[in-house]
Amino acid sequence: MAGRWSVGALALLLYPFVALAAAINLFLLALMGQVLGLPVLAPLDALLAGLALGVPLAPLAGRWLRRLMDRAG
Q: How far apart are CA 6 and CA 15, in angstroms?
A: 14
Q: What is the CA radius of gyration of the chain?
A: 16
The reported pLDDT for the residue numbered 3 is 73
Tell me, yes or no, whether 35 lies in a domain.
yes
**Position 21 in a domain:** yes
- How far is the C-alpha of 11 from the C-alpha of 62, rounded, in Å? 5
Does residue 1 belong to any structural domain of this protein?
no
Residue 20 placed within a domain: yes
* Number of separate domains in the chain: 1
Sign, CA dihedral 70-24-50-34, equals negative
Mean pLDDT by 10 residues, the chain (73 residues): 84 97 96 92 96 97 96 89
Q: Structural domain of residue 63, as residue ranges?
A: 7-72
| One-letter amino acid of 62 | G
In a domain, 23, yes or no: yes
Residue 14, amino acid: L
**Does 45 fall in a domain?**
yes
